[in-house]
Amino acid sequence: MVDVLPLVEARLATALGEPDARAAVTFLGTDRIEVLRFSEGDIVRYATLGMSAHPMTDPTAMLADPVQGPRAELLLSVRAGVADTDKVLKPLAVLGASPQVEGLVVAPGASLDTGEPLWPGAPFTSVLVAEPGGLVEDLELDDPMDPVRFLPLLPMTPNEAAWKRVHGAQALQERWLAGGTDLRDPSRRSVPLD
């Protein structure tokens, strides 16, 4: 079996440059999840490293397939210097461990909730998982393994998360687009939803 994580880290470095900080979190009964920080101008990006070590398994499956199944890492981009966003490391690691801990298959359109602000004073406690392929290209692996997808996370206010549950991810993204919402603003307000 190929060790996926060095390939994932190399893909992140190719797309985003060398990380300027990293932190690791280990949860009982799970593999270690690292969070890497990349700074580029006034944007800081955080990426999980470790979530893709094993394929995500449908919680209804009788047996976990050790080779086949979707693999992903999470990406969060925010404006630097506006809030203490480095405190997002633990909540991001929690989200990265959720496939192992909760048996989740994280996919575009899903909501992930941390149950606490993403960083001190953040108006967000959850994120919308967006479509991959924009910032970091999928990492193809040898057959029969699925590629690693790099899934952007878009912070949601509690009102936006509730609205998304009723109307869907696409409708929320259209609302953000129509409102000219800066999704990288770590202190932005909720988009108008009426």
State the pLDDT at residue 102: 84
Tokens 């890497």 appear where?
Answer: 36
State the pLDDT at residue 1: 56
10-residue stretch averages of pLDDT, the chain, 194 residues long: 89 96 84 94 96 85 77 96 91 91 90 94 95 92 93 97 96 95 95 85
Q: What's the pLDDT tens digit per position in 79-134?
A: 998 899 999 999 999 999 999 888 889 999 999 999 899 999 999 999 999 999 88
Q: What is the pTM of this model?
A: 0.93
State the pLDDT at residue 31: 85
Show the tokens assigned to 6.
């060095």
Would residue 135 be called left, alpha or beta, if left means φ above 0 and alpha means ψ between -120 and 50 degrees?
A: alpha
